[in-house]
Structure 1
Amino acid sequence: MKPAKKLTTLFYMDDSGTRHPDHDAPGSRNRDWFALGGIMINEEDKESAETLIMDFRARWPELDGRPFHSHEIRRRQEGFAWLAVAGSRAELFISELSALLLSLPVVGVACVIDRQGYNDRYKAQYGKDRWLLCKTAFAVAIERAVKQAIVNDRRLKIYVERTSKKTDTLIKSYYQEIKKNGLWFDSEQSSKYKPVLAEQFNMLLYDFKTKTKESLLMQIADLYLWPMCIGGYQPTNKAYMALKEAGKLIDCCLAEEELAERGIKYSCFENVAKRTA
Protein backbone atom coordinates (compact mmCIF):
# COMPACT_ATOMS: atom_id res chain seq x y z
CA MET A 1 0.00 0.00 0.00
CA LYS A 2 1.29 3.44 -0.94
CA PRO A 3 1.78 5.92 1.92
CA ALA A 4 -0.99 8.51 2.23
CA LYS A 5 -0.35 11.70 0.33
CA LYS A 6 0.58 14.62 2.57
CA LEU A 7 -1.95 17.39 2.94
CA THR A 8 -0.93 20.75 1.52
CA THR A 9 -0.46 24.20 3.01
CA LEU A 10 -0.44 27.31 0.80
CA PHE A 11 1.98 30.18 1.45
CA TYR A 12 0.87 33.46 -0.16
CA MET A 13 3.80 35.91 -0.30
CA ASP A 14 3.84 39.65 -0.99
CA ASP A 15 6.73 42.07 -0.73
CA SER A 16 7.10 45.41 1.04
CA GLY A 17 9.79 47.99 0.40
CA THR A 18 12.54 48.16 -2.21
CA ARG A 19 14.77 45.14 -2.69
CA HIS A 20 17.95 47.05 -3.60
CA PRO A 21 20.22 47.63 -0.56
CA ASP A 22 21.24 51.14 -1.70
CA HIS A 23 17.70 52.49 -1.93
CA ASP A 24 17.33 55.85 -0.16
CA ALA A 25 14.47 55.84 2.33
CA PRO A 26 11.79 58.42 1.48
CA GLY A 27 10.94 58.89 5.15
CA SER A 28 12.31 57.96 8.53
CA ARG A 29 15.60 56.08 8.59
CA ASN A 30 14.20 54.02 11.41
CA ARG A 31 11.50 52.47 9.22
CA ASP A 32 13.35 51.51 6.06
CA TRP A 33 12.85 47.84 5.34
CA PHE A 34 12.43 45.19 2.71
CA ALA A 35 10.23 42.22 3.51
CA LEU A 36 8.76 39.11 1.94
CA GLY A 37 5.97 37.22 3.60
CA GLY A 38 2.26 36.94 4.06
CA ILE A 39 -0.07 34.15 5.11
CA MET A 40 -0.08 30.38 5.39
CA ILE A 41 -3.41 28.60 5.01
CA ASN A 42 -4.26 24.92 4.79
CA GLU A 43 -5.48 24.08 1.30
CA GLU A 44 -8.71 22.59 2.63
CA ASP A 45 -9.54 25.96 4.25
CA LYS A 46 -9.01 28.02 1.09
CA GLU A 47 -12.60 27.89 -0.18
CA SER A 48 -14.19 28.86 3.13
CA ALA A 49 -11.72 31.73 3.57
CA GLU A 50 -12.44 33.06 0.10
CA THR A 51 -16.17 32.87 0.81
CA LEU A 52 -15.71 35.06 3.90
CA ILE A 53 -13.76 37.59 1.83
CA MET A 54 -16.33 37.64 -0.98
CA ASP A 55 -19.17 38.06 1.52
CA PHE A 56 -17.35 41.04 3.03
CA ARG A 57 -16.76 42.61 -0.36
CA ALA A 58 -20.42 42.17 -1.30
CA ARG A 59 -21.41 44.27 1.73
CA TRP A 60 -19.20 47.15 0.58
CA PRO A 61 -20.23 48.43 -2.87
CA GLU A 62 -17.69 51.25 -2.45
CA LEU A 63 -14.97 48.71 -3.28
CA ASP A 64 -16.27 48.60 -6.87
CA GLY A 65 -14.12 45.57 -7.71
CA ARG A 66 -10.87 47.11 -6.48
CA PRO A 67 -8.53 44.71 -4.68
CA PHE A 68 -7.52 45.43 -1.11
CA HIS A 69 -4.22 47.28 -0.98
CA SER A 70 -2.62 48.00 2.38
CA HIS A 71 -0.86 51.21 1.33
CA GLU A 72 -3.96 52.73 -0.25
CA ILE A 73 -6.17 51.81 2.70
CA ARG A 74 -3.75 53.19 5.29
CA ARG A 75 -3.20 56.40 3.31
CA ARG A 76 -6.84 56.65 2.24
CA GLN A 77 -5.69 57.35 -1.29
CA GLU A 78 -6.26 56.19 -4.88
CA GLY A 79 -8.80 53.34 -4.91
CA PHE A 80 -9.56 53.98 -1.24
CA ALA A 81 -9.68 57.78 -1.31
CA TRP A 82 -13.37 57.50 -0.41
CA LEU A 83 -12.27 56.56 3.12
CA ALA A 84 -10.99 60.11 3.62
CA VAL A 85 -14.47 61.59 3.22
CA ALA A 86 -16.73 58.77 4.38
CA GLY A 87 -16.77 59.71 8.07
CA SER A 88 -18.34 57.08 10.30
CA ARG A 89 -18.77 54.69 7.37
CA ALA A 90 -15.00 54.73 6.86
CA GLU A 91 -14.49 53.81 10.50
CA LEU A 92 -17.03 51.00 10.13
CA PHE A 93 -15.17 49.71 7.07
CA ILE A 94 -11.84 49.62 8.92
CA SER A 95 -13.46 47.92 11.91
CA GLU A 96 -15.17 45.26 9.80
CA LEU A 97 -12.06 44.71 7.67
CA SER A 98 -10.01 44.17 10.82
CA ALA A 99 -12.60 41.68 12.07
CA LEU A 100 -12.41 39.85 8.74
CA LEU A 101 -8.62 39.58 8.93
CA LEU A 102 -8.80 38.14 12.42
CA SER A 103 -11.51 35.63 11.47
CA LEU A 104 -9.64 33.96 8.61
CA PRO A 105 -7.96 30.55 9.17
CA VAL A 106 -4.48 31.87 8.34
CA VAL A 107 -1.17 32.55 10.09
CA GLY A 108 1.28 35.35 9.26
CA VAL A 109 4.91 34.54 8.38
CA ALA A 110 7.59 36.93 7.11
CA CYS A 111 11.23 37.93 6.93
CA VAL A 112 11.80 41.66 7.43
CA ILE A 113 15.25 43.17 6.78
CA ASP A 114 16.27 46.58 8.11
CA ARG A 115 18.11 48.23 5.22
CA GLN A 116 20.46 50.38 7.30
CA GLY A 117 21.30 47.45 9.54
CA TYR A 118 22.00 45.29 6.49
CA ASN A 119 24.32 47.91 5.03
CA ASP A 120 26.06 48.46 8.36
CA ARG A 121 26.77 44.75 8.51
CA TYR A 122 27.71 43.99 4.91
CA LYS A 123 28.49 47.10 2.83
CA ALA A 124 32.12 47.58 3.91
CA GLN A 125 32.90 43.91 3.33
CA TYR A 126 30.97 43.21 0.14
CA GLY A 127 30.31 46.61 -1.46
CA LYS A 128 28.45 46.28 -4.75
CA ASP A 129 28.49 42.49 -4.43
CA ARG A 130 25.87 42.56 -1.68
CA TRP A 131 22.84 40.41 -2.40
CA LEU A 132 19.52 41.95 -3.28
CA LEU A 133 17.47 41.95 -0.10
CA CYS A 134 14.89 39.68 -1.72
CA LYS A 135 17.44 36.86 -1.94
CA THR A 136 17.82 36.73 1.83
CA ALA A 137 14.18 37.51 2.63
CA PHE A 138 12.76 34.87 0.28
CA ALA A 139 15.07 32.14 1.55
CA VAL A 140 14.40 32.86 5.22
CA ALA A 141 10.63 33.20 4.79
CA ILE A 142 10.45 29.97 2.80
CA GLU A 143 12.50 28.13 5.41
CA ARG A 144 10.28 29.36 8.25
CA ALA A 145 7.22 28.17 6.32
CA VAL A 146 8.82 24.79 5.60
CA LYS A 147 9.66 24.33 9.28
CA GLN A 148 5.99 24.84 10.10
CA ALA A 149 5.03 22.40 7.34
CA ILE A 150 7.39 19.81 8.85
CA VAL A 151 5.77 20.19 12.28
CA ASN A 152 2.31 19.78 10.73
CA ASP A 153 3.41 16.93 8.40
CA ARG A 154 2.37 18.83 5.29
CA ARG A 155 3.83 19.82 1.95
CA LEU A 156 3.94 23.42 0.77
CA LYS A 157 2.82 25.36 -2.28
CA ILE A 158 4.38 28.80 -2.74
CA TYR A 159 2.39 31.63 -4.33
CA VAL A 160 4.23 34.93 -4.87
CA GLU A 161 2.63 38.16 -6.02
CA ARG A 162 3.34 38.78 -9.69
CA THR A 163 5.35 41.93 -10.40
CA SER A 164 7.61 42.18 -13.46
CA LYS A 165 8.82 39.37 -15.69
CA LYS A 166 12.41 40.02 -14.59
CA THR A 167 11.59 39.92 -10.88
CA ASP A 168 9.25 36.93 -11.20
CA THR A 169 11.99 35.00 -13.02
CA LEU A 170 14.50 35.94 -10.32
CA ILE A 171 12.25 34.82 -7.46
CA LYS A 172 11.43 31.56 -9.25
CA SER A 173 15.17 30.91 -9.66
CA TYR A 174 15.57 31.28 -5.89
CA TYR A 175 12.78 28.75 -5.36
CA GLN A 176 14.33 26.27 -7.79
CA GLU A 177 17.77 26.62 -6.19
CA ILE A 178 16.39 26.07 -2.69
CA LYS A 179 14.32 23.06 -3.78
CA LYS A 180 17.34 21.49 -5.48
CA ASN A 181 20.25 22.41 -3.21
CA GLY A 182 18.85 23.94 -0.02
CA LEU A 183 19.85 27.30 1.43
CA TRP A 184 22.94 29.22 0.32
CA PHE A 185 23.82 30.73 3.70
CA ASP A 186 27.11 30.05 5.46
CA SER A 187 26.54 26.77 7.29
CA GLU A 188 28.59 27.75 10.34
CA GLN A 189 26.83 31.10 10.77
CA SER A 190 23.35 29.66 10.26
CA SER A 191 23.77 26.52 12.37
CA LYS A 192 22.23 28.21 15.43
CA TYR A 193 18.93 28.48 13.51
CA LYS A 194 18.82 24.70 12.87
CA PRO A 195 18.50 25.04 9.08
CA VAL A 196 16.24 22.79 7.03
CA LEU A 197 18.13 20.13 5.06
CA ALA A 198 18.23 20.20 1.26
CA GLU A 199 16.37 16.88 1.01
CA GLN A 200 13.57 18.27 3.19
CA PHE A 201 13.13 21.26 0.89
CA ASN A 202 13.08 18.93 -2.10
CA MET A 203 10.45 16.71 -0.53
CA LEU A 204 8.14 19.38 0.90
CA LEU A 205 8.26 22.23 -1.65
CA TYR A 206 5.53 21.05 -3.97
CA ASP A 207 4.75 23.92 -6.34
CA PHE A 208 5.53 27.56 -7.19
CA LYS A 209 3.27 30.04 -8.96
CA THR A 210 2.91 33.79 -9.27
CA LYS A 211 -0.48 35.38 -8.71
CA THR A 212 -1.88 38.86 -9.27
CA LYS A 213 -3.82 40.94 -6.76
CA GLU A 214 -6.97 39.44 -8.27
CA SER A 215 -6.24 36.53 -5.92
CA LEU A 216 -8.31 37.16 -2.80
CA LEU A 217 -5.79 35.49 -0.52
CA MET A 218 -2.89 37.41 -2.07
CA GLN A 219 -4.74 40.56 -1.04
CA ILE A 220 -4.90 39.21 2.52
CA ALA A 221 -1.15 38.50 2.40
CA ASP A 222 -0.67 42.20 1.56
CA LEU A 223 -2.82 43.27 4.51
CA TYR A 224 -0.95 40.97 6.91
CA LEU A 225 2.57 41.88 5.76
CA TRP A 226 2.65 45.57 6.68
CA PRO A 227 1.72 44.99 10.36
CA MET A 228 4.42 42.31 10.59
CA CYS A 229 6.94 44.79 9.17
CA ILE A 230 6.02 47.70 11.41
CA GLY A 231 5.96 45.37 14.42
CA GLY A 232 9.73 45.14 14.22
CA TYR A 233 10.01 48.89 14.75
CA GLN A 234 6.95 49.58 16.87
CA PRO A 235 5.73 46.49 18.75
CA THR A 236 2.82 48.49 20.18
CA ASN A 237 1.41 49.28 16.71
CA LYS A 238 -2.35 48.72 16.80
CA ALA A 239 -2.55 46.54 13.67
CA TYR A 240 0.40 44.39 14.73
CA MET A 241 -0.96 43.99 18.26
CA ALA A 242 -4.39 42.97 16.93
CA LEU A 243 -2.87 40.12 14.90
CA LYS A 244 -0.66 39.07 17.79
CA GLU A 245 -3.42 39.10 20.40
CA ALA A 246 -5.68 37.09 18.09
CA GLY A 247 -2.97 34.43 17.65
CA LYS A 248 -2.65 35.15 13.93
CA LEU A 249 1.17 35.32 13.75
CA ILE A 250 3.53 32.34 13.55
CA ASP A 251 5.16 33.59 16.75
CA CYS A 252 1.92 32.86 18.60
CA CYS A 253 2.26 29.16 17.72
CA LEU A 254 5.75 28.86 19.21
CA ALA A 255 7.43 28.60 22.58
CA GLU A 256 9.80 31.43 23.51
CA GLU A 257 12.87 29.31 22.79
CA GLU A 258 11.58 28.50 19.27
CA LEU A 259 11.13 32.10 18.09
CA ALA A 260 14.70 32.67 16.89
CA GLU A 261 14.67 29.69 14.55
CA ARG A 262 11.00 29.50 13.52
CA GLY A 263 9.30 32.84 14.18
CA ILE A 264 8.97 36.00 12.10
CA LYS A 265 12.54 36.96 11.24
CA TYR A 266 13.67 40.54 11.88
CA SER A 267 17.08 40.59 10.23
CA CYS A 268 19.76 43.22 10.93
CA PHE A 269 17.61 44.93 13.58
CA GLU A 270 20.40 45.10 16.19
CA ASN A 271 20.59 48.91 16.18
CA VAL A 272 16.92 49.70 15.57
CA ALA A 273 15.49 51.96 18.26
CA LYS A 274 12.03 50.50 18.79
CA ARG A 275 9.13 52.86 19.41
CA THR A 276 6.61 52.19 22.13
CA ALA A 277 4.03 54.78 21.10
Structure 2
Amino acid sequence: MAELTFYMDETGSRQPDKKPDASRLGRDWFAFGGFIIRREDEEAAKWARDEVARRLDVRHPFHITDMLAEAKKFSFLQRKTEKERLAFWAEYQEFLADLPVMGLGCVIDRPGYAARGYVEKHPETKWLLCRSAFDIVVERAVKYAIREDRRLRIVFESDAPFDPIVKSYFANLKQNGLEFDAANSGKYNPLTKDDFAKTLTTIESRPKSNRLLQVADSYIYAIARGKYHKQFSMWRQLCDAQRIANFALGGDAAAIKAMGIKYYCFTN
Protein backbone atom coordinates (compact mmCIF):
# COMPACT_ATOMS: atom_id res chain seq x y z
CA MET A 1 0.00 0.00 0.00
CA ALA A 2 1.24 3.53 -0.80
CA GLU A 3 2.34 5.68 2.10
CA LEU A 4 2.01 9.20 3.50
CA THR A 5 4.50 10.86 5.83
CA PHE A 6 3.46 13.20 8.62
CA TYR A 7 6.35 15.57 9.38
CA MET A 8 5.78 16.88 12.91
CA ASP A 9 7.25 19.59 15.09
CA GLU A 10 6.03 21.38 18.21
CA THR A 11 5.74 25.00 19.23
CA GLY A 12 5.15 26.50 22.67
CA SER A 13 5.66 24.98 26.11
CA ARG A 14 4.52 21.39 26.57
CA GLN A 15 4.30 21.87 30.35
CA PRO A 16 0.67 22.63 31.29
CA ASP A 17 1.55 24.40 34.54
CA LYS A 18 4.54 26.42 33.38
CA LYS A 19 4.26 30.08 34.34
CA PRO A 20 2.89 32.06 31.37
CA ASP A 21 5.34 34.10 29.34
CA ALA A 22 4.31 37.78 29.64
CA SER A 23 5.67 38.44 26.15
CA ARG A 24 3.08 36.00 24.74
CA LEU A 25 0.05 37.41 26.52
CA GLY A 26 -3.04 36.56 24.51
CA ARG A 27 -1.31 33.85 22.45
CA ASP A 28 0.03 31.27 24.89
CA TRP A 29 -0.18 27.95 23.11
CA PHE A 30 1.25 24.49 22.80
CA ALA A 31 0.88 22.89 19.38
CA PHE A 32 2.02 19.69 17.73
CA GLY A 33 1.79 19.05 14.01
CA GLY A 34 3.18 20.08 10.67
CA PHE A 35 2.20 18.66 7.30
CA ILE A 36 1.29 15.44 5.53
CA ILE A 37 2.93 14.59 2.21
CA ARG A 38 2.83 11.66 -0.20
CA ARG A 39 6.06 9.68 -0.07
CA GLU A 40 6.52 10.08 -3.82
CA ASP A 41 6.46 13.89 -3.45
CA GLU A 42 9.14 14.15 -0.78
CA GLU A 43 12.16 14.45 -3.07
CA ALA A 44 10.55 17.29 -5.01
CA ALA A 45 9.76 19.07 -1.74
CA LYS A 46 13.38 18.71 -0.59
CA TRP A 47 14.57 20.13 -3.90
CA ALA A 48 12.17 23.08 -3.55
CA ARG A 49 13.50 23.75 -0.04
CA ASP A 50 17.08 23.78 -1.32
CA GLU A 51 16.13 26.06 -4.21
CA VAL A 52 14.46 28.66 -1.97
CA ALA A 53 17.45 28.55 0.39
CA ARG A 54 19.75 29.19 -2.59
CA ARG A 55 17.64 32.10 -3.84
CA LEU A 56 17.46 33.64 -0.37
CA ASP A 57 21.14 32.93 0.30
CA VAL A 58 20.31 31.01 3.50
CA ARG A 59 22.99 28.42 4.32
CA HIS A 60 21.60 27.04 7.57
CA PRO A 61 18.30 25.51 8.68
CA PHE A 62 15.17 27.61 8.42
CA HIS A 63 13.78 28.23 11.91
CA ILE A 64 10.61 30.28 11.96
CA THR A 65 10.89 31.91 15.39
CA ASP A 66 14.45 33.08 14.68
CA MET A 67 13.34 34.28 11.26
CA LEU A 68 10.47 36.34 12.68
CA ALA A 69 12.63 37.70 15.50
CA GLU A 70 15.50 38.40 13.06
CA ALA A 71 17.72 36.72 15.62
CA LYS A 72 20.71 34.37 15.71
CA LYS A 73 21.53 33.18 12.18
CA PHE A 74 18.71 35.31 10.78
CA SER A 75 19.98 38.57 12.30
CA PHE A 76 21.06 39.52 8.76
CA LEU A 77 17.40 40.43 8.14
CA GLN A 78 17.88 43.44 10.42
CA ARG A 79 20.34 44.87 7.92
CA LYS A 80 18.01 44.63 4.94
CA THR A 81 15.87 47.46 3.67
CA GLU A 82 12.12 47.13 4.17
CA LYS A 83 11.71 46.38 0.47
CA GLU A 84 14.30 43.58 0.75
CA ARG A 85 12.66 42.18 3.90
CA LEU A 86 9.26 42.09 2.22
CA ALA A 87 10.78 40.36 -0.80
CA PHE A 88 12.44 37.77 1.47
CA TRP A 89 9.14 36.91 3.16
CA ALA A 90 7.20 36.90 -0.10
CA GLU A 91 9.67 34.39 -1.56
CA TYR A 92 9.64 32.17 1.52
CA GLN A 93 5.87 32.16 1.95
CA GLU A 94 5.32 31.43 -1.74
CA PHE A 95 7.63 28.43 -1.38
CA LEU A 96 5.58 27.13 1.58
CA ALA A 97 2.29 27.64 -0.25
CA ASP A 98 3.48 25.88 -3.42
CA LEU A 99 4.42 22.59 -1.74
CA PRO A 100 2.20 19.53 -2.41
CA VAL A 101 1.33 19.08 1.28
CA MET A 102 -1.54 19.43 3.75
CA GLY A 103 -0.94 21.30 7.00
CA LEU A 104 -2.38 19.65 10.11
CA GLY A 105 -2.02 20.27 13.83
CA CYS A 106 -3.54 20.31 17.28
CA VAL A 107 -3.28 23.64 19.10
CA ILE A 108 -3.97 23.81 22.83
CA ASP A 109 -4.56 27.12 24.58
CA ARG A 110 -2.51 26.70 27.79
CA PRO A 111 -4.53 29.11 29.97
CA GLY A 112 -7.72 27.44 28.75
CA TYR A 113 -6.32 24.01 29.58
CA ALA A 114 -5.50 25.11 33.12
CA ALA A 115 -8.86 26.88 33.55
CA ARG A 116 -10.70 23.62 32.82
CA GLY A 117 -8.92 21.92 35.69
CA TYR A 118 -6.96 19.46 33.57
CA VAL A 119 -3.70 20.20 35.40
CA GLU A 120 -5.24 18.94 38.66
CA LYS A 121 -7.21 16.16 36.97
CA HIS A 122 -4.18 14.71 35.17
CA PRO A 123 -1.13 15.45 37.32
CA GLU A 124 0.79 12.43 36.06
CA THR A 125 3.45 13.20 33.46
CA LYS A 126 1.82 11.10 30.74
CA TRP A 127 -0.85 13.78 30.41
CA LEU A 128 1.50 16.57 29.43
CA LEU A 129 0.09 18.80 26.70
CA CYS A 130 2.34 16.93 24.30
CA ARG A 131 0.52 13.63 24.88
CA SER A 132 -2.91 15.12 24.31
CA ALA A 133 -1.83 17.02 21.19
CA PHE A 134 0.05 14.04 19.74
CA ASP A 135 -2.85 11.62 20.15
CA ILE A 136 -5.40 14.06 18.73
CA VAL A 137 -3.43 15.09 15.66
CA VAL A 138 -2.13 11.62 14.82
CA GLU A 139 -5.67 10.23 14.95
CA ARG A 140 -6.75 12.90 12.47
CA ALA A 141 -3.79 12.08 10.23
CA VAL A 142 -4.68 8.37 10.37
CA LYS A 143 -8.26 9.15 9.36
CA TYR A 144 -6.92 11.09 6.39
CA ALA A 145 -4.57 8.23 5.44
CA ILE A 146 -7.47 5.77 5.56
CA ARG A 147 -9.51 8.07 3.35
CA GLU A 148 -6.62 8.20 0.87
CA ASP A 149 -6.14 4.40 1.06
CA ARG A 150 -2.58 4.80 2.29
CA ARG A 151 -0.55 3.93 5.34
CA LEU A 152 1.13 6.55 7.49
CA ARG A 153 4.61 6.99 8.90
CA ILE A 154 5.67 9.78 11.26
CA VAL A 155 8.89 11.82 11.33
CA PHE A 156 9.31 14.28 14.20
CA GLU A 157 12.02 16.71 15.28
CA SER A 158 14.39 15.16 17.76
CA ASP A 159 14.62 16.37 21.36
CA ALA A 160 16.87 13.67 22.80
CA PRO A 161 15.45 13.47 26.35
CA PHE A 162 11.88 13.48 25.04
CA ASP A 163 12.25 11.22 21.98
CA PRO A 164 11.48 7.96 23.85
CA ILE A 165 8.35 9.53 25.35
CA VAL A 166 6.97 10.58 21.95
CA LYS A 167 7.75 7.12 20.56
CA SER A 168 5.89 5.61 23.52
CA TYR A 169 2.81 7.68 22.58
CA PHE A 170 3.01 6.18 19.10
CA ALA A 171 3.39 2.63 20.40
CA ASN A 172 0.48 3.11 22.77
CA LEU A 173 -1.81 4.23 19.94
CA LYS A 174 -0.92 1.12 17.94
CA GLN A 175 -1.39 -1.19 20.92
CA ASN A 176 -4.27 0.40 22.82
CA GLY A 177 -5.82 3.16 20.73
CA LEU A 178 -7.01 6.42 22.25
CA GLU A 179 -7.43 6.80 25.99
CA PHE A 180 -9.63 9.89 26.06
CA ASP A 181 -12.93 9.83 27.92
CA ALA A 182 -15.35 7.91 25.67
CA ALA A 183 -18.33 10.11 26.54
CA ASN A 184 -16.52 13.27 25.49
CA SER A 185 -14.74 11.92 22.41
CA GLY A 186 -17.58 9.84 20.98
CA LYS A 187 -18.94 12.70 18.87
CA TYR A 188 -15.66 12.69 16.91
CA ASN A 189 -16.06 9.03 15.85
CA PRO A 190 -12.73 7.91 17.36
CA LEU A 191 -10.72 5.22 15.64
CA THR A 192 -10.15 1.80 17.16
CA LYS A 193 -6.78 0.38 18.11
CA ASP A 194 -7.04 -1.88 15.05
CA ASP A 195 -7.34 1.20 12.82
CA PHE A 196 -4.13 2.57 14.29
CA ALA A 197 -2.33 -0.76 14.09
CA LYS A 198 -3.24 -1.29 10.43
CA THR A 199 -2.48 2.25 9.26
CA LEU A 200 0.55 3.44 11.24
CA THR A 201 3.90 2.06 10.09
CA THR A 202 6.98 3.64 11.73
CA ILE A 203 8.02 6.67 13.75
CA GLU A 204 11.45 8.30 13.39
CA SER A 205 13.14 11.23 15.10
CA ARG A 206 15.36 13.45 12.97
CA PRO A 207 17.53 16.51 13.76
CA LYS A 208 16.62 20.14 13.08
CA SER A 209 18.81 19.98 9.97
CA ASN A 210 16.25 17.70 8.27
CA ARG A 211 14.98 19.74 5.34
CA LEU A 212 11.32 18.78 5.57
CA LEU A 213 11.16 19.20 9.35
CA GLN A 214 12.24 22.80 8.75
CA VAL A 215 9.07 23.16 6.68
CA ALA A 216 7.00 21.48 9.42
CA ASP A 217 8.37 24.07 11.86
CA SER A 218 6.91 26.89 9.75
CA TYR A 219 3.62 25.09 9.16
CA ILE A 220 2.83 24.34 12.80
CA TYR A 221 3.82 27.84 13.88
CA ALA A 222 1.48 29.34 11.27
CA ILE A 223 -1.32 26.96 12.31
CA ALA A 224 -0.94 27.95 15.96
CA ARG A 225 -0.49 31.67 15.49
CA GLY A 226 -3.30 31.92 12.96
CA LYS A 227 -5.85 31.09 15.65
CA TYR A 228 -4.74 34.09 17.72
CA HIS A 229 -3.78 36.45 14.90
CA LYS A 230 -5.97 35.93 11.85
CA GLN A 231 -4.07 38.61 9.93
CA PHE A 232 -0.77 36.70 10.22
CA SER A 233 0.36 36.73 6.59
CA MET A 234 1.92 33.26 6.49
CA TRP A 235 -1.30 31.72 7.84
CA ARG A 236 -3.45 33.62 5.36
CA GLN A 237 -1.29 32.63 2.41
CA LEU A 238 -1.35 28.93 3.35
CA CYS A 239 -5.13 29.09 3.72
CA ASP A 240 -5.51 30.87 0.37
CA ALA A 241 -3.40 28.15 -1.28
CA GLN A 242 -5.55 25.44 0.37
CA ARG A 243 -2.52 23.98 2.12
CA ILE A 244 -4.25 23.92 5.52
CA ALA A 245 -6.44 20.87 6.20
CA ASN A 246 -9.63 22.86 6.81
CA PHE A 247 -9.32 24.31 3.29
CA ALA A 248 -7.72 21.31 1.58
CA LEU A 249 -10.65 19.03 2.47
CA GLY A 250 -12.92 20.70 -0.05
CA GLY A 251 -15.42 22.32 2.30
CA ASP A 252 -16.70 18.95 3.56
CA ALA A 253 -17.93 19.84 7.07
CA ALA A 254 -17.85 16.24 8.31
CA ALA A 255 -14.32 15.71 6.99
CA ILE A 256 -13.12 18.97 8.54
CA LYS A 257 -14.60 17.99 11.91
CA ALA A 258 -12.85 14.60 11.76
CA MET A 259 -9.59 15.49 10.00
CA GLY A 260 -9.15 19.25 10.23
CA ILE A 261 -7.10 21.40 12.62
CA LYS A 262 -8.05 20.79 16.25
CA TYR A 263 -8.13 23.87 18.48
CA TYR A 264 -8.44 22.63 22.05
CA CYS A 265 -9.41 24.46 25.26
CA PHE A 266 -10.11 27.79 23.57
CA THR A 267 -12.77 29.96 25.17
CA ASN A 268 -14.43 30.80 21.85
Taking structure 1 as the reference length, the TM-score comes to: 0.91
Corresponding position of 2:74: 80
1:262 paired residue among 252, 259, 262: 259
Could you tell me which amino acid in structure 2 is paired with residue 80 of structure 1? Answer: F
Whether the 8 Å contact between 2:16 and 2:119 is mirrored in structure 1 is no
Change (3 A) 1:204 1:25: same
3-state SS of 1:241 partner: helix
Do residues 140 (structure 1) and 139 (structure 2) align?
Answer: no
Whether the 8 Å contact between 2:3 and 2:152 is mirrored in structure 1 is yes
Shift of 1:207: 0.7
Could you tell me which amino acid in structure 1 is paired with residue 99 of structure 2? Answer: L
Corresponding position of 1:275: none
Corresponding position of 2:210: 215
> 2-side partners of 1:232 and 1:93: how far apart?
24
Do residues 58 (structure 1) and 54 (structure 2) align?
Answer: yes
> 2-side partners of 1:109 and 1:9: how far apart?
13
Could you tell me which amino acid in structure 2 is paired with residue 231 of structure 1? Answer: G
Whether the 8 Å contact between 2:5 and 2:153 is mirrored in structure 1 is yes
Structure 2: segments with no counterpart, 5+ residues? none
> 2-side partners of 1:96 and 1:222: how far apart?
17
> 2-side partners of 1:139 and 1:55: how far apart?
34
3-state SS of 2:228 partner: coil
Change (3 A) 1:75 1:124: closer
Could you tell me which amino acid in structure 1 is paired with residue 146 of structure 2? Answer: I
Do residues 229 (structure 1) and 224 (structure 2) align?
Answer: yes
Change (3 A) 1:32 1:257: same
Shift of 1:124: 7.2
> 2-side partners of 1:184 and 1:60: how far apart?
45
Change (3 A) 1:124 1:17: closer
3-state SS of 2:162 partner: helix
Could you tell me which amino acid in structure 1 is paired with residue 26 of structure 2? Answer: N
1:245 paired residue among 240, 246, 256: 240
Corresponding position of 2:196: 201
Corresponding position of 2:114: 119
Matches within 5 A, 1:28-47: 28-47=24-43
> 2-side partners of 1:89 and 1:253: how far apart?
31
> 1-side partners of 2:131 and 2:118: how far apart?
16
Corresponding position of 1:3: none
Shift of 1:253: 2.7
Taking structure 2 as the reference length, the TM-score comes to: 0.94
Shift of 1:237: 2.3
Corresponding position of 2:20: 25
3-state SS of 2:106 partner: strand
Question: How many residue pairs are counted as aligned between the two chains?
Answer: 263
3-state SS of 1:39 partner: strand
Offset from partner CA, 1:216-240 (integer Å, 9 cap, x none): 1100000111110012222332221
The answer to which of 245-254 and 82-91 deviates more is 82-91
Offset from partner CA, 1:41-60 (integer Å, 9 cap, x none): 00000011111111122223
The answer to which of 220-229 and 51-60 deviates more is 51-60
Shift of 1:23: 1.1
Shift of 1:125: 5.0
> 1-side partners of 2:210 and 2:9: how far apart?
12
> 2-side partners of 1:52 and 1:85: how far apart?
26
Corresponding position of 1:160: 156
The answer to which of 38-47 and 238-247 deviates more is 238-247
Corresponding position of 2:174: 179
Aligned-residue Cα RMSD (Å) equals 1.5
Change (3 A) 1:125 1:58: closer
3-state SS of 1:128 partner: coil
Could you tell me which amino acid in structure 2 is paired with residue 67 of structure 1? Answer: P
> 1-side partners of 2:62 and 2:119: how far apart?
40
Identity %: 35
The answer to which of 235-244 and 108-117 deviates more is 235-244
